[in-house]
Structures are given as C-alpha cells and as structure tokens.
Amino acid sequence: MTRALRGPAEQGLTLIELLVTVVVMGIAFLVIVGGLGMAIIASDIQSRQATAQTLARSAAEEVKGDDVAYVDCATEYPQPAVDGHLFTVFVVGYWVPGGDQYLGSCPTTDGGVAVDAGLQLVEVTVTSPARAVAESIQVVKRRP
C-alpha cells in the first residue's frame, strides 16, 4: 500500500483545533446573549421609571391644583389609582410664618392650638406594580 502525499492545500484541522474554535465561539455567543439580556432589562426599568415619573408629576399637579381642597393641618391627601401603580400622597412639612423652613408637624400656638399658615410641603410617591421602581416628587400646596 502506498500512501499518497498531501500537499499544503489538502491539510485539514485537527480535532483539538476544531474543539478550541467551538469553545471560543460558544463563549462569544454567551457574552452577546448576556449583553442583549441586560439591555432588555435596562430598557424595561427605564420605561417603568419614565411611567412612574409621569404619573407622579400628574398626581402632584392634581394635588397642587384646586380640584383637591386644601385641608388645614392635613397629614395626607387623596391617592389616585392608575394601572395598578401604588400612590402615596402625604404632607411632609408645614410652613412656619417668618421662618425659612417647613416643620414636620403642624405648628401650634402657645395655647396648643394648631395653626396652619397656608403652605404645606406635599410628597407624592408612585411605585410600579412590580415594585421595581419608585419615583417621588415634592410640591407646595397652598390655601386659596
């Protein structure tokens, strides 16, 4: 039996070279798929943040407006309900006349009577249905 001599154009890959190529391509594929997955997750979170921020601004404008009556020494205001989002609307401070700050509780006179100066710092927080994102905004509500 005679073996035919192979020229340089007829040489093939060894099994080890082929396995290394498959492993490298597999790793590259996993990296690309992982990157795409992270991009999809980041896009979903950004979309939820934008929706929550829009809803928070809308609810804050509603609370700030004349549609929601001003309540002296209120601790919270009505909470809207939209698409399963959780809203919290509460007063975080009351303006002190002659001062430059908000107090955490309604100011009182020397006799212990609560006196609301007519300005309340209200915080509106919107939490997405999956509880993945929460956005807050503070507005000032004033007595008409």
Task: Output the pLDDT for position 29.
Answer: 97
79-84 contact pairs (CB < 8 A, 24+):
82/55, 83/129, 84/129
Give which of 79, 71, 74 is closest to 124, Cα–Cα.
79
Task: Output the pLDDT for position 5.
Answer: 59
H-helix or E-strand spanning residue 95: strand 86-95
**Tokens (6 digits) for 38:** 């992270």
Task: Output the pLDDT for position 62.
Answer: 87
The tens-digit pLDDT sequence of the chain (144 residues) is: 555 555 566 566 788 888 999 999 999 999 999 999 999 999 988 988 898 898 889 888 888 888 888 888 888 888 877 778 888 888 888 888 777 788 888 887 777 777 888 888 999 999 888 777 889 999 998 888
Give which of 124, 126, 137 is closest to 51, Cα–Cα.
126
> Contact 91/76 with Cβ under 8 angstroms?
yes
Task: Output the pLDDT for position 144.
Answer: 84
pTM of the predicted protein model: 0.70
